[in-house]
Amino acid sequence: MSTHILWLIGRRLAAAVLTLLIVSVVIFAITAILPGDSAQQILGQFATPEQIEALRQQLGLNQPAIVRYLDWFGGLLSGNLGESMTNNMPVTELLQGRLGNTLMLALVTSVVSVPVALLLGITAAIYRGGRLDKCLSTLTLALVAVPEFLVATLAVLIFAVKLRWFSALSYASDVTSPLAFIRTYTLPVMTLCFVIVAQMARMTRAAVVDQLDSSYAEMARLKGLGNLRIALVHALPNAVGPIANAIALSLSYLFGGVVIVETIFNYPGIASLMVDAVTNRDIALVQACTMLFCSGYLLLVLIADVSAILSNPRLRTR
Amino acid sequence: MTELLHVKNLRVNARGGAGEIEIVRNVSFSLGKGEVLALIGESGSGKTTIALSLLGYARHGCRIAGGEIWVDGTDVLSLDDKTLQQWRGHRIAYIAQSAAAAFNPSKRLLDQVIESALLHGVGSRAELERKAVELFRDLALPNPETIGQRYPHQVSGGQLQRLMAAMALIADPLLVILDEPTTALDVTTQVEVLQTFRDAVKRRNATAVYVSHDLAVVAQMADHIVVLNGGEIREHNRTERILHHADDAYTRSLLGAARPHGKPKAVTRLPAEAEPLLSIKGLIAGYGKPDSLGLPASRILEDIELELRPGQAIGIIGESGSGKSTLARVVAGLLPAARGKVRFRGEELPGQLSQRSAEQFRRIQLVFQNADTALNPMHTVGTLLGRPLKAYFGLTGKAQRQRVLELLDQVRLPHTLIDRKPGALSGGQKQRVNLARALAAKPDLILCDEVTSALDTVVGAAILDLLAELRRELGLAYLFISHDISSVRALCDDVVVMYQGHQVQTGSTSALLEPPAHPYTDLLVRSVPELRQGWLEENRDLARLELPALDDYQDNGELCTFLDRCPKRINGLCNSTAPGRKTLSSGSVTLCHLDEEAMLPLLPVLAQPSAQEPRLYKVNG
Amino acid sequence: MSTSVSNPSRTSALPRITSPWRSVGAVVCLFWLVMAVIGPWLAPHDVGQVVSDDIFGPLSAQYPLGTDYMGRDMLSRMLVAARYTVGLALVAALLSSMIGTFIALAAAVSPRWLEDGICRLMDALIAIPSKMLALVIVAGFGSSVPLLIITAIIGYAPGAFRIAYSLAASLYTMEYVQVAQTRGESRLYIALREMLPNMLNPVLADLGLRFVFIVLLLSGLSFLGLGVQPPDADLGSLVRENIGGLSQGAAALIAPALAIGTLTVGVNLLIDRISSHRNGR
């Protein structure tokens, strides 16, 4: 690997870190510079001004915003995410118990959705303009706009209520056997996959079609290569960058999707924890969850960028 | 001679607004084994469409509507998809216009060269790789053993074009189709590629169809010429017959536009003491972050000196990447100079647009190459021309419209175009509107950046005539940027030759065309194909020049930029010290170590004292 | 020649197969637009009025969409809720697109440092999944109709910015813009007269997408109980209220969920139709 590549990757990494910094400022600004503050929140509306003042002192709320931000951000770096007010326990502990569940859900969803989407997208691109392509295009076009809770309610209705194949609620702790695993994960994963697969398949198709429209693809046709070979051997390697990007974007959409899905299926993950935190205005917890999701997003985009760089011989062999 | 290709009543349709439009109409021709036929025509003539049909292929939106294409006794159009695939790349091979786009950027060259032959079972991988290396050697590619291991971006444009030829020839096809194979190349590269193509075709006794818009190129390559216009054959004859005794009026108009435009005319010179309109001294400019000395990371222009008097036309000539357009951008204020002075009408011209005065904006106008991108597609002709009138002269309403109509007259366009948008105009009309917009400012100086390059020859020639007329009528000064010597010659008094950002020669247009000249100027001038057969043969020395050997040297960025291609370089001098400016007896200034004697041609030029005076010139007037 | 090949596609109106799906999009969109305007007047019952003892009642002639978890007429509730969903999303989408586009134009004609700064900030906002951002804002400021609109704008204007900026940045390098610069035109003139007209088509298509996203976001928030607050309700709130009917497959649950689905899918189909019509495919 050349130093040039390392330099390019280093630059992407630096950009991601900078973005994360800005994100942290934005999140802190929204959550910490608000009219009603947490002291009021904790003590309730009947607290005397003195009590509130005392608590404010104790929580350090009287310090300037910049000091509080640095405090908070320093805590993030050292793994101290603060204290959850509603649960009366450190945020780190709360997250630890649930992070694994959400990651598991995301992992299973990715493992199912990525191959399916790539297969659909590439197939549609190869048979571009044909009946299969038209059907897939219309179907995915419709599916990208379907709200998760519609998919989820219909899925529960059909598979849990009518057919009684799976349970309507998913407790990750129930998983003791492969069968239980399937029972627990099928419905949430299916719900998440619907939208993501549609989105990813569309973007994959577009990326491959873009390459199939290029001069070198025409040249390949004119030197007597078949459609399949042109698509797989010629177009696909050049579409790696855009496809990686499509996967990253779609998977990041998953972060939005889990919020709904975990709530509907009562799945004990971070997203449902966050929804509760928002309802209870448990600011430290909200901040931590958001930072976690944003880091996840930036990591995905970074991976996509790096694979785009590595797949480009123009950059690889300078 | 046996007939190899026979095209009968070929028709190709394109889907259009109301049903289908015929873009190729009843085209028939045939070609004997071992012969080369040229399809020639302007854009829209259907030449590429016909060439692609020979492979049984029509682009998206088009279809082959009828006819027969017999190749070696088989009708290609009757083949099923599978068989057609077997034919393509095996029996009929194709060489595309832009090799840079036609090679897959992410696969190694050798794999792409042998891919088709391997799939069609022409030979084993090892055999084909060996054959490819032979072909690479044959096509004069450097490092034939290893060049195949590279990726497309690692070799030059001329080399890619030759690699594509290797890809086409590797299966020993019956028929090779060359689709404008040298159009995307610079003229000095073109001559090398033409030379190797011609040799390769001759040596294999291959049958070829050569598509081009350039009659001079075709004259070197083809035995027969088919002249196309609007999807129909205008004339089909042997090459010498077409060149000397064209029957068809359209063919004659093509020939007329392809010939150099007479002698550079003696322009009514302004007195030499007239204050220069534009003077450039020691200009350095480029892109990227400035270093500690304030010089840009990538320097495009080095030490440019130029003086343009009112009413004078100076041509800036050079190949792509020579920095000629950057010079126009600096004068226009789109790129600030890093060093040096640009003075206009005696005042220093600020580098930043924001510091220029309204008068300076008005007096200097920029006309771009491509009217498609230079005219806002959402504005009508009236708006496009009206806006500068309002901005510079505050003209509105009736007065503005009156002046717009005058401008349309000036560029010979009908008044009815005033409410059209650029999308509804032809290429030539758009370029005239583009010019009229500059004229609206009543400028002193027009910077013309390749204004005729995107146009067909005939249309381009008309624009050149218009430019010359406007100059006479309005006393305009031009900085005329072009890669085409004949248009510079037709319009300009003086010429600046640029090579990789350096101004290698400056002088009057007539002095430029005669030796002695800078070795690069010499190569550039002599590389332009002439409109007569046999030119390529006579100028074999242009392609594979034996360069004088050089000892190892360190390039500190000061040495001559033409050093690595120069046929007259001197070991110990050119590779050790920077060249200085030198005035020749013709008045030209060159940037070269050589003295006049040494600049004279290496070989005595064969019976052609002036390389640009075509023998044919008097044949039809 | 290749140019003659590309010409026909520019004149659009290629003979093409009109898929029934495509006109479906237009019909559905029109339907919801009309409902948003006149829906509340068509409501047979008062939104809050309990009209039946039967909770999660089935479809019937009297209550065409059944009754909800409290025995209220579902049709009336939906007709009122649709106005919230469509209206809020429309306002928010229009504002997001406009704000995104204008910031993009401003960035494109700004000096380099400002342009980079704006892009960096927008990149950061895009990096926050919009649902997360919405949750954070609700956590910080609570939930009200104006706040929901602002939330949607902060969430989706950066996306509109990205589309518009990539258009604007490439338009800014166009030669006609350079010609305008060398004429001494102001940045404002260049942005509004030279660039904006050439961005309108893709920006309008993007506006449709923003609308879809925002409908999904707002109904998602309401579904979580963090969007439109009772007694007001949008379609997402109706899904939430009646989630208890899931086990019996109640119409009161399925109807609003389906309604959102048809709205978003319909708009999506319509955009696709319009933009593919423009591209002449």
- Taking the C-alpha atoms of residue C121 and residue B218, their distance in angstroms, rounded to an integer, is 57
pLDDT of residue C94: 95
Q: What are B178-234's pLDDT values in tens digits?
A: 999 988 888 888 888 898 888 888 888 889 999 999 999 999 999 999 999 989 999
CA proximity to C135, closest of A71, A98, A280, A41 = A280
- Taking the C-alpha atoms of residue B82 and residue B79, their distance in angstroms, rounded to an integer, is 8
Look at strands B3-16 and B62-71 and give their pairing: antiparallel
- Taking the C-alpha atoms of residue A283 and residue C140, their distance in angstroms, rounded to an integer, is 8
- C101 to chain B nearest CA, in Å? 18
**Average confidence (pLDDT) over B602-616:** 43
Chain B residue at shortest CA distance from A311: B106
Chain B residue at shortest CA distance from C175: B374
Q: Is B351 exposed, middle or buried (0-12, 13-18, 19+ CB in 10 A)?
A: middle
User: What is the phi/psi pair of residue C52, to 5°?
Assistant: -145, 150
Please answer yes or no on whether B105 and A224 come within 8 Å at the CB atom: no
User: pLDDT class for B166, splitting at 50, 70, 90?
Assistant: very high
User: What is the phi/psi pair of residue A291, to 5°?
Assistant: -60, -40
Q: Which residue has the higher pLDDT, C212 or C57?
A: C212
CA proximity to B410, closest of B440, B390, B381 = B440
Do the domains spanning B3-258 and B278-499 agree at the CATH topology level?
yes
**CATH assignment of C21-38+71-278, given 1.10.3720.10, 3.60.15.10, 1.10.20.10, 3.40.50.720?**
1.10.3720.10
pLDDT surpasses 80 at A228? yes
- Taking the C-alpha atoms of residue A31 and residue A82, their distance in angstroms, rounded to an integer, is 14
- Taking the C-alpha atoms of residue A110 and residue A254, their distance in angstroms, rounded to an integer, is 9
Mean confidence (pLDDT) of chain B: 87
**Average confidence (pLDDT) over C100-121:** 92
B500: Cβ–Cβ under 8 A, 6 or more apart, which residues?
A: B321, B322, B323, B561, B562
- C173 to chain B nearest CA, in Å? 10
pLDDT surpasses 60 at A147? yes
Site from B376, B384, B390, B434 to mutate, C interface, most C CB atoms within 10 angstroms: B376
Q: What is the pTM of this model?
A: 0.83
C115: Cβ–Cβ under 8 A, 6 or more apart, which residues?
A: C107, C108
User: pLDDT class for B565, splitting at 50, 70, 90?
Assistant: confident
Tallying the residues shown for chain B, one arrives at 621
- Taking the C-alpha atoms of residue C157 and residue C136, their distance in angstroms, rounded to an integer, is 17
User: What is the phi/psi pair of residue C266, to 5°?
Assistant: -60, -45
Contact B506, B497 (CB under 8 A): yes
Position B555: which residue type? D
- Taking the C-alpha atoms of residue A146 and residue A149, their distance in angstroms, rounded to an integer, is 9
Q: What are C20-63's pLDDT values in tens digits?
A: 655 888 888 888 888 888 888 887 778 777 777 777 777 777 77
Name the neighbours of B, counting chains with at least 3 Cβ pairs within 8 A. Answer: A, C
- C196 to chain B nearest CA, in Å? 10
| Long-range CB contacts (within 8 A, 24+) of C252-256 | C252/C56, C252/C57, C252/C65, C252/C66, C252/C67, C252/C68, C252/C69, C252/C74, C253/A153, C254/A153, C254/A154, C254/A157, C255/C65, C255/C66, C255/C74, C255/C78, C256/C78, C256/C81
| Chain Cα centroid distance, residue A20 | 15
- Taking the C-alpha atoms of residue B287 and residue B298, their distance in angstroms, rounded to an integer, is 5
Domain definitions of chain A by residue range:
3-35+81-316
Q: Is B303 helix (H, G, I), strand (E, B) or coil?
A: strand
User: pLDDT class for A78, splitting at 50, 70, 90?
Assistant: confident
Nearest to B49 among C1, C14, C175 (CB): C1
**Average confidence (pLDDT) over C204-212:** 89
User: pLDDT class for A60, splitting at 50, 70, 90?
Assistant: low
**CATH assignment of B278-499, given 3.40.630.10, 3.40.50.1950, 3.40.718.10, 3.40.50.300?**
3.40.50.300
Please answer yes or no on whether B366 and C13 come within 8 Å at the CB atom: no
- A-B Cβ pairs (cutoff 8 Å, strict): 71
Nearest to B373 among C174, C185, C194 (CB): C174
User: What is the phi/psi pair of residue B253, to 5°?
Assistant: -70, -35
pLDDT of residue A172: 53
Q: What are B253-282's pLDDT values in tens digits?
A: 888 888 766 544 545 555 555 788 999 999
Please answer yes or no on whether C268 and A144 come within 8 Å at the CB atom: yes
pLDDT of residue C67: 80
Nearest to A314 among B52, B119, B153 (CB): B153
Please answer yes or no on whether C216 and A144 come within 8 Å at the CB atom: no
- Taking the C-alpha atoms of residue A259 and residue A152, their distance in angstroms, rounded to an integer, is 12
Nearest to C127 among A19, A153, A263 (CB): A19
- Taking the C-alpha atoms of residue A23 and residue A300, their distance in angstroms, rounded to an integer, is 16
pLDDT of residue A32: 74
Of B44-53, B126-135, B163-172, C226-235, the poorest mean pLDDT is in C226-235
pLDDT surpasses 60 at B25? yes
Based on its alpha-carbon atoms, the radius of gyration of chain C, rounded to whole angstroms, reads 23
Q: What are C74-85's pLDDT values in tens digits?
A: 888 888 888 888
pLDDT of residue B614: 39
User: What is the phi/psi pair of residue C242, to 5°?
Assistant: -100, 15
Look at strands B589-591 and B502-508 and give their pairing: antiparallel
pLDDT of residue B603: 52
Q: What are B467-483's pLDDT values in tens digits?
A: 999 998 888 999 999 98
Based on its alpha-carbon atoms, the radius of gyration of chain B, rounded to whole angstroms, reads 26
- A11 to chain B nearest CA, in Å? 17
Task: For B291-374, list the strands marked E by DSSP.
Answer: 296-308, 313-317, 339-344, 347-348, 364-367
Chain C residue at shortest CA distance from B351: C182
Q: How far is CA A43 from CA A83, A284, C197, in A?
A: 16, 16, 56
Q: Does C117 touch chain A (CB under 8 A)?
A: no
DSSP letters of B12-41?
EEEEETTEEEEEEEEEEEEEETT-EEEEE-
CATH code of the region B3-258: 3.40.50.300
pLDDT of residue B232: 92
- Taking the C-alpha atoms of residue A124 and residue B375, their distance in angstroms, rounded to an integer, is 38
- Taking the C-alpha atoms of residue A274 and residue A294, their distance in angstroms, rounded to an integer, is 13
Domain definitions of chain B by residue range:
3-258, 278-499, 519-607
**Average confidence (pLDDT) over B11-17:** 84
A16: its two tokens: 């991601």
Contact C145, C81 (CB under 8 A): no
Tallying the residues shown for chain C, one arrives at 281
- C250 to chain A nearest CA, in Å? 10
pLDDT surpasses 60 at A318? no
User: pLDDT class for B544, splitting at 50, 70, 90?
Assistant: low
CATH code of the region A3-35+81-316: 1.10.3720.10
- Taking the C-alpha atoms of residue B355 and residue C256, their distance in angstroms, rounded to an integer, is 61
Please answer yes or no on whether B151 and A314 come within 8 Å at the CB atom: yes
Domain definitions of chain C by residue range:
21-38+71-278
Please answer yes or no on whether A259 and C131 come within 8 Å at the CB atom: yes
Contact B221, B197 (CB under 8 A): yes
pLDDT surpasses 90 at B238? yes
Residue with tokens 């959550």: A31
Please answer yes or no on whether A223 and B167 come within 8 Å at the CB atom: yes
Q: What is the percent of chain C where pLDDT is above 70?
A: 90
H-state helical runs in A33-90: 38-43, 49-59, 65-77
ipTM of the prediction: 0.82
pLDDT of residue C19: 55
pLDDT surpasses 60 at A2? yes
Site from B21, B378, B430 to mutate, C interface, most C CB atoms within 10 angstroms: B378
Q: What are A4-37's pLDDT values in tens digits?
A: 888 889 988 998 999 899 989 888 888 776 545 5
B591: Cβ–Cβ under 8 A, 6 or more apart, which residues?
A: B502, B503, B504, B505, B518, B560, B579, B580, B581, B582
**Angle subtended at Cα B595 by Cα B591 and Cα B601, rounded to the nearest 5 degrees:** 95
